[in-house]
Amino acid sequence: MRQFLRTLVEIRRGELAITLLMSLNYYLVLVTYYFLKPARDSLFLVEIGPGQLPVVFMLIAVVATPVTA
């Protein structure tokens, strides 16, 4: 198994703990996103309505672009 992983990624000595923590961080971000996205959409649709949904998607892109950069 280690040999297989070494062919996929090059992890040097001392980098394993950091790599595992970064992978855990990425996993938790994705899990949070996939849990909160349906809740966000359903709450928005109940309060505002489906007509404004494209505007919200554009606003999310405008806000998320500088934050992620």
Per-residue pLDDT in tens (0 to 9) along the chain, 69 residues? 677 777 788 888 888 889 889 999 999 999 988 988 888 888 878 888 888 888 888 888 898 888 776
The answer for residues whose C-beta is within 8 angstroms of residue 45's C-beta and 6 or more apart is 53
Expressed in percent and rounded to 5, the helix, strand and coil fractions of the chain are: 85, 0, 15
Number of domains present in the structure of the chain: 1
State how far the alpha carbon of 24 is from the alpha carbons of 2, 18, 31, in Å. Answer: 19, 10, 10
Q: Look at residue 24 in the predicted model and tell me its pLDDT.
A: 93
Residue-range definition of the domain harbouring residue 23: 2-68
Tell me if residue 49 falls in helix, strand or coil: coil
